[in-house]
Amino acid sequence: MAAFDLSAALASPQRWLVTGAAGFIGSHLVEQLLAAGQRVVGLDNFVTGKRANLDDAVAKAGQGARERFSFVEGDITSLETCQRVCAGVDFVLHQAALGSVPRSIKDPLASHRANVDGFVNMLVASRDAKVKRFVYASSSSVYGDDPTLPKQEARTGRVLSPYAATKHVNEVYAQVFERTYALQTVGLRYFNVFGPRQDPNGPYAAVIPRWMALLFAGQPCDLNGDGSTSRDFCFVLNAVQANLRAALAPGEDVSDCVYNVAVGDKTSLSELYQLIRERVAKTVPAVKSLEPRRQPFRPGDIKDSQADISRARQHLGYAPTHTVAQGLELTVVPPGGVP
């Protein structure tokens, strides 16, 4: 698969559907696809996505992007909406979901409606529209309490939250639709994706944008646990590459499978805090010595996470282009700054 040329595969314009298009990862997919000359349909209900993300993505995609982009405001919990946006589509990149472990613990029914009922609607609509391949966002949370590092796709433990349960169910349904209806499906287990446009606000904000916003405001950050908790933080353009390769990689052995999407390394929360603080201090020198406030370990979270990305390398030709440090250089910018 090393010979798979993604740029050449994108040379022929095709029609793509991106669900969750106004979200963090979805808007980057829209931007990169439009920049590559593709035709894109976006779907979002704006529960967590933002119109500003779409406006920014289309503007950055270059000349002619707006003419090749159409958007539908709607919800994947409506089968009719899913069928409407799938009509005439070649590839589906399904990112729409209610994320966050704590959110799912607080409201498991909402997570199930969006992440399971909505997911099955998208599978049915994609099957009926005869799309070439259905690529969907899974999560490293499916590894649950399995202590093995690095995480390999074939070995998982008991899931620890309703959110993780929904992502596990997604993988089961996708594989059933492949085997029952011959719908090609590819699951991508994201490991802590970060980058520009990630929302720093709200109780369920991801740690990197939340810490950035607080430090740029000169305020202390909360750190859950003793700081040794580690994650395989993955810059968003790595995740974009994985999606495009998962959709376009030739060969029948690519689908009916899940792949880790990460860098293949781990960074502790203490190390991550220092990396972010160091970059913010260039603009706000006062935070250079600001220490985080220690909080209890968060229920439903795993202690350590690191991915084995060899399967994605072998089958998709995936190769991360950005390390954590390189990704943070493009992410940690002052409010209103240009990444």
Max Cα–Cα distance, the chain, nearest Å = 60
CA separation for the pair 171, 257 (Å, rounded): 9
| Residue in 163, 190, 273, 318 annotated catalytic | 163
- Residues ≥6 apart with Cβ < 8 Å to 235: 193, 194, 195, 263, 320, 321, 322, 323, 324, 326, 327, 330, 331
Name the token pair of 131.
Answer: 């799309």
Encoded tokens for 242: 């994985």
Enter the DSSP assignment of 289.
G
Is 259 designated active site? Answer: no
For the chain, the straight-line distance linking the first and the last C-alpha, in angstroms and rounded, comes to 32
The CA distance from 292 to 158, in Å, is: 31
Residues involved in catalysis: 163
